[in-house]
Structure 1
Amino acid sequence: MEQMTKTTNSTPKISERAQAQRERILSAAQICFVDRGFHAASMAAIAETAGMSQGLIYRYFAGKDEIILAIIARELTDSRNDIASLQTGNQLAARIEELFSNWLAAREDTMNARLFLELTSEASRAPKILEAVKNSDLQAREDLGELFRRASQEHGRQLSEGELCWRAFSLQVFVEGLVVRALREPEVDPQLLTQSLQAFLPIWLGRSG
């Protein structure tokens, strides 16, 4: 009985360690993918950046494609958590402005603009990655639709499924456009984004349009 208790109690610690190792690998891979691109970033480079052996990386991922798929899955989880935490239009605007600020700063610990475009480019060549990206986009769109449904109901409106869908779609297009702006126009005045959000938020949230 004592031995069984020890085994049971140690299981969560092993799981937490494995998750920490996976996160360490994914963070290192993001840095390498941004610096070198997917194809030029070798497993050896990822291992060096992560400060571990290639053999240890292969215990968690079969190769770079699996790492890319895991990054997409992690981004979807983060995105869904973000959307679920939003309660007001002001929070949505603040989150979009925060994302844009992170992209301008080219932070390596987040889905920055260069990594987003690398993923998009790789999706055009790899069917599995394209499928993962599409599924991620559709899930995020569904979550945004639910956010807009709640927001519109709070203002006495009942939006149709079609109205929710185009609102969520247009927000995705807007945010993805900001990714390109962050790379092409890093000196852009943030006030332009604030003014744009003030114009579009009432439409997305079902207060007008």
Structure 2
Amino acid sequence: MPEADPRAARVEAQRKRILDAAQQCFIEHGFHGASMSAIAETAGMSAGLIYRYFENKSAIILAIVQEQLVLLREEISLNDRPDLPTLMAENYARTCNQRRGMNAALLLEISAEATRDPQIAAALDDYDQAVRQALCDWLARDPDAGGHGLPPALARQRALMLQCLFEGLKLRETREPRLDRKLLLEALQAVVPRVLAP
């Protein structure tokens, strides 16, 4: 097994520090309120060093979206039939690890920036299409293989509905973080099985 390149590992560690700091700053101050100097301070490095890795804040946002897409492709675990309403209710307004799942406020900031930056819009579209395809594949997969056995056309429709539900919950998190979890679970238990049913 070849040894890892120490320089590449250092570069990746620096990029990770910058992306984590940027996510924190974007969540706390918004995309336009988070200056490169604030990101640098949060990362514990100079702004000049950040510019060696990222041309500007848009490049950082693009890297965050691309990173989330890679994580999604690596980690989406729709190989079984989880209790989706319970998982959705448990994850509602939960502070997630910055590297695993996009924070609701950050998703809103990135979505807003996508209306102004075509590169970010394209990256977000790739992310959306990957999520939808993963959901569609899961819904169409044979039940013996952990899927729901929906016909392909119906799987596409239901994948879109699930995606809208997921994103709607993210938006709701920003406006109502203390939502009654029992009420949310009951609502999801009433709706989600209908979306998954043939």
Q: Does the TM-score normalized on the shorter chain lie above 0.5?
A: yes
1:168 aligns with 2:159: yes
Residue identity in the other structure for 2:82: G
Q: How many pairs were matched up?
A: 195
Identity of aligned residues (%): 42
In structure 1, C-alpha distance between the alignment counterparts of 2:25 and 2:68, rounded to whole Å: 17
The gaps in structure 2 that reach 5 residues or longer are: none
Structure 1 or 2: larger helix share?
A: 1
In structure 2, C-alpha distance between the alignment counterparts of 1:80 and 1:199, rounded to whole Å: 29
1:49 aligns with 2:42: yes
Deviates more, 1:31-40 or 1:43-52: 31-40
Task: Identify which of 158, 161, 185 aligns with 1:194.
Answer: 185
SS at 2:150's partner residue?
coil
**Normalised TM-score (structure 2):** 0.86
1:5 aligned residue: none
Task: Identify which of 96, 121, 125 aligns with 2:88.
Answer: 96
**Rg larger in structure:** 1
C-alpha RMSD of matched pairs (Å): 2.4
Deviates more, 1:42-51 or 1:73-82: 73-82
SS at 1:84's partner residue?
coil
The gaps in structure 1 that reach 5 residues or longer are: 1-7
Residue identity in the other structure for 1:96: M
Deviates more, 1:196-205 or 1:29-38: 196-205
In structure 1, C-alpha distance between the alignment counterparts of 2:147 and 2:108, rounded to whole Å: 39
Instruction: Kindly state the Cα deviation for residue 73 of structure 1 after the two structures are TM-superposed.
Output: 1.1
In structure 2, C-alpha distance between the alignment counterparts of 1:127 and 1:121, rounded to whole Å: 12
Task: Identify which of 119, 122, 126 aligns with 1:128.
Answer: 119
Quickly say closer, same or farther: Cα 1:133–1:155, change in 2 above 3 A.
Answer: closer
2:62 aligned residue: 69
SS at 1:117's partner residue?
helix
C-alpha offsets along residues 80-99 of structure 1, whole Å, 9 cap, x if unaligned? 34423652222x44442343
Runs of 4+ in 1 over 3 A off after TM superposition: 92-95, 151-158
**Normalised TM-score (structure 1):** 0.81
Quickly say closer, same or farther: Cα 1:152–1:204, change in 2 above 3 A.
Answer: farther
Task: Identify which of 7, 19, 41 aligns with 1:14.
Answer: 7
